[in-house]
Structure 1
């Protein structure tokens, strides 16, 4: 049995995927950028329900890697924990806990300890609906009545003015629905949303926004001259783009008078790729069609 090779994305590539997803690009379009299938992009986006996870940052009061290196050097030269704390201007209890939880005075290593602290800091944060069961029940009841999260959030704001613990934003509702790890609202409630998606799309993903899905400066076919319609004059071409499996595309050009057909394989469906490929192919036309 043949297994597919696991695809890994670097941190920079993942950041670019999320940037493009938030701008409204499709998974297939993002996959073409990295020359990969849309399923590999889905594996990055789906664990958090299409909602970009927040960037992790170290706390201002947390020990830095350079401070941990100073601790490691101090221990290797037999300095006491108090003298190391004075040198770093830290509380002795902070240095004591750091050394005790990371191998003790003989096994302490700066890089290992720094990575362990970063891993320990990753904890799931309880969302508001998890902390307020009655609020979660009220939201669930409205969703079952086909209310949108925006409508639910607006109703709570009007029904309980000045009571923040009884209000919730629509973003929190979406996060509770799409991020399965939170487990606050039952997954079945997704069926009550008007858009039954497994991941949340960007608000910029609509094909009607910013002219997406529309031809710029398009000229209606009704405006073409009559000579084109009767095919009497050579030199008029009709073009089309055919999409196949695995992000493959072929541009077609048909000369209306002679019915001469040109088939050109293109790397992508964007305008620049198609026009460049057609120009190269047009240079090989027979003399009769110039």
Structure 2
């Protein structure tokens, strides 16, 4: 992984983070995809108010790196500024200013000059609210009254129908609130937004089986039957995705009574793929071992209703940011890192490979079982039921 500043993420990875955020993935999902804490992802996004920065493009009038290399070679060979300019088909004044701007002939270096020119070109254009005090004050006064940016924008268009300078889009208002570097609207005004969030969220986070990052019709872990809590009866499972590099994952299922583990190969982490793979695996279990499944708030289980229909297994969801509520699964995932270290590409493992790892794990004695193996514990429990 290319180490960048603070986040250890390359430019391409940051672009992919913004793409995922725009598609509606949660902070936890994005963090798992890059083996990063969700707080680090939030810090990166919050710097831009949750709004992806515009892709920068080099102006065609600007000297290119190859042209700067020609200038550097011309200087090294002793050519005059006019000779170099003729070779580039540029004005002599352009080449002269370029060389002078970056230290003169003795110290001019193409790469350093190109980097500095690209950095110096960052001149953000002030938005309309920054330039128009009256408009800014009106927008702020309406936000205090709990008007939404869309309502403000629509009202301005109607109220000042003959004055385009008194109009502003709702997106500009959002950007002025969330991107504090603009210094336009006070941060406190964001508290008057209906959502009260501090960063812009994608509209896609409200579709596809979840609403604003929440799973539709999720049944809380607090509604689980008492028999699940005391681990007395087998057939109640905890599940999660074990993450690898390159957005690769393995689904892990741990039976609460025996700590018996099942590993499931998943080609992707979208909810349709995960639910389909889990359903096929769980249907192979005897009916007595298909009672419930406890999952975290990951949106890979957004289609939990389809899973329940296919397997007759009720799904319960942990409270947000409470992985300890499925502690058996968390502990087992830690043991699995012995076989699948972090930063491992998991796509190369077949289901047969995963079955071998699960077999080894299930035949290892566990302290929590008085050093009985999960396989023996589960077999004895099933035999006693029948």
Q: Same fold (TM over 0.5)?
A: yes
Please say if 1:210 is aligned against 2:204.
no
Any runs of at least 4 consecutive aligned residues in structure 1 with deviations exceeding 4 A, and if so which? 237-240, 260-263, 265-270, 272-285, 287-290
Show the 5 A alignment for 1:1-290. 6-206=6-206, 209-212=207-210, 213-214=215-216, 240-241=237-238, 251=253, 263-264=260-261, 270-271=274-275, 274=278, 280=355, 286=379, 288=383
* Corresponding residue for residue 226 of structure 1: none
The alpha carbon displacement at 1:74 in A equals: 1.1
Alpha carbons of 1:35 and 1:214: their partners in 2 closer, same or farther (altered >3 Å)? same
TM-score (norm 1): 0.77
RMSD over aligned CA atoms reads 3.3
Q: Deviations over 1:93-133 (max 9, x none)?
A: 11111000111011111111111101111123211100111
Asked whether the equivalents of residues 238 and 255 of structure 2 are also in contact (C-alpha less than 8 Å), the reply is no
| Alignment length (residue pairs) | 256
Within 2, Cα distance between the matches of 1:78 and 1:134?
58
Asked whether the equivalents of residues 153 and 168 of structure 1 are also in contact (C-alpha less than 8 Å), the reply is yes
Within 1, Cα distance between the matches of 2:104 and 2:61?
22
TM-score (norm 2): 0.59
Asked whether the equivalents of residues 266 and 274 of structure 1 are also in contact (C-alpha less than 8 Å), the reply is no
The alpha carbon displacement at 1:56 in A equals: 1.0
Gaps of 5+ in 2: 218-233, 244-250, 285-354, 363-374
Deviates more, 1:6-15 or 1:127-136: 6-15
Asked whether the equivalents of residues 266 and 277 of structure 1 are also in contact (C-alpha less than 8 Å), the reply is no
Within 2, Cα distance between the matches of 1:273 and 1:181?
45
Within 2, Cα distance between the matches of 1:28 and 1:177?
24
Alpha carbons of 1:134 and 1:240: their partners in 2 closer, same or farther (altered >3 Å)? farther
Within 2, Cα distance between the matches of 1:240 and 1:201?
33
Within 1, Cα distance between the matches of 2:87 and 2:50?
46
